Amino acid sequence: MQVAVLQLNQISNMKISMIGAGNVAWHLSIALEDHHHQVCEVYSRKQTKARALVSMLYQAKVKTDLDFSESAADIFIMAVSDDAIAEVCSMLVLPENAILVHTSGTKSLEDLQNLMNTHHDLPIRCGVFYPLMTFSIQKKMSLKDVPFCIEAEESTAEDKLVQLAQSVSNTVYIINSQERKVLHVAAVFACNFTNHLLALAKEITTEENLEFDLLKPLIRETFQKALVADHPADVQTGPAIRGDKSTINKHLVYLNNHPDLFEIYEVMSDSIKKWHS
């Protein structure tokens, strides 16, 4: 469910502690400060990374441990890899009623609550603050069009997280853990796998001393068409949907010495045929 944009006078500046200093932490911290929130402190297992991020921020300090009992922050954002969440939670000390969120596509809210209940006596308000985007640290980007998926166990915490997300983005959704996981699966197909196919296409051209640039107009057109179509399946082209066996066979013969490319070609062509039959 997309959340209606709040009135500006409802949005107040918040104080944030950032746990993690990777791609997501980096982009969130800078965007939040650009929109008048304050990042108070940055923790990272690798202090050099925390220092690098702090150097980009106004008043943030490097935090060298996970005891935040004296922190002035309203919201603690845990932007670490999924595998690190359990370890961070086991060491984390937070003020009573602190709002703690992770930024993961796959970890459920319940997982986070269980981890915090196991290790802590004080009540903590858990939530999820998931930006549905692929971030590279090198490239500053506006988060204005990035969909934020918010979830929280408690309504005042949810309101605060929605406010925070709406201060940097125009598209904020309340999404439960199951929906978020499904979105993440879809994102892996639409983003990670497509990018890998482009990498393979580049390898295929390079091996024959052909310029990858030759394919770029086609790639641009493919994505533009898929994004404006009612359904990307409506604009599917190529030998598999045409049932052009002779071309498919020639391609498979060519790929015979590349077992992984051969397998991908077969699996994808079969799926296209099945889908459109």
Question: What type of residue sits at position 204?
Answer: I
User: Is residue 237 near its own copies by the rule CB under 8 A?
Assistant: yes
CB nearer its own copies, residue 35 or residue 202: 202
Q: How far apart are CA 184 and CA 191, in angstroms?
A: 10
Q: Which of 81, 90, 97, 117 binds its own copies (CB under 8 A)?
A: 81
Rank residues 66 and 183 by Cβ distance to its own copies and give the closer one.
183
For 209-241, the DSSP string reads T--GGGGHHHHHHHHHHHHHSSSGGGG--SHHH
Q: At what angle do helices 245-254 and 259-275 cross, to 10 degrees?
A: 160
Distance CA 161, CA 183 (A): 19
Q: Does 141 bind its own copies (CB under 8 A)?
A: yes
133 binds its own copies (CB under 8 A): yes
Candidate ranges 51-59, 69-77, 118-126, 215-223; the one touching its own copies (CB under 8 A): 215-223
Should residue 174 be labelled a site residue for its own copies when binding is judged by CB under 8 A? Answer: no
Minimum separation from the CB atom of position 40 to its own copies (A): 28
Name the packing angle between helices 259-275 and 194-207 (round to 10°): 130
| Binding of residue 5 to its own copies (CB under 8 A) | no
Task: Return the bridge partners of 149, or none.
Answer: 130, 173
Site membership for its own copies, residue 256 (CB under 8 A): no
**91 near its own copies (CB under 8 A):** no
Q: Considering the rule CB under 8 A, would residue 46 count as an interface residue with its own copies? A: no
Pick the piece of the chain touching its own copies (CB under 8 A) from 35-43, 50-58, 122-130, 229-237.
229-237
CB nearer its own copies, residue 95 or residue 232: 232
Q: Which two tokens stand for residue 129?
A: 């603050």
Does 199 bind its own copies (CB under 8 A)? Our answer is: yes
Could you give the CA distance from residue 37 to residue 12 in angstroms, rounded to a whole number? 8
CB 148 within 8 A of CB 171: yes
Q: Report yes or no: 246 and 252 within 8 Å, Cβ to Cβ.
A: no
Site for its own copies in 10-29 (CB under 8 A): none
7 binds its own copies (CB under 8 A): no
Q: How far is the CB of 266 from its own copies (least distance, A)?
A: 9
3-state secondary structure of 164: helix
Nearer CB in complex with its own copies: 41/111: 111
**Binding residue count for its own copies, defined by CB under 8 A:** 90
Q: How far is the CB of 72 from its own copies (least distance, A)?
A: 33
Shortest reach from residue 128's CB to its own copies, in Å: 15
**Window contacting its own copies (CB under 8 A); options: 32-40, 49-57, 119-127, 170-178:** 170-178
- Burial string for 42-72 (b: 16+ CB within 10 Å, else e) reads bbbeeeebbebbbeebeebebbeebebeebe
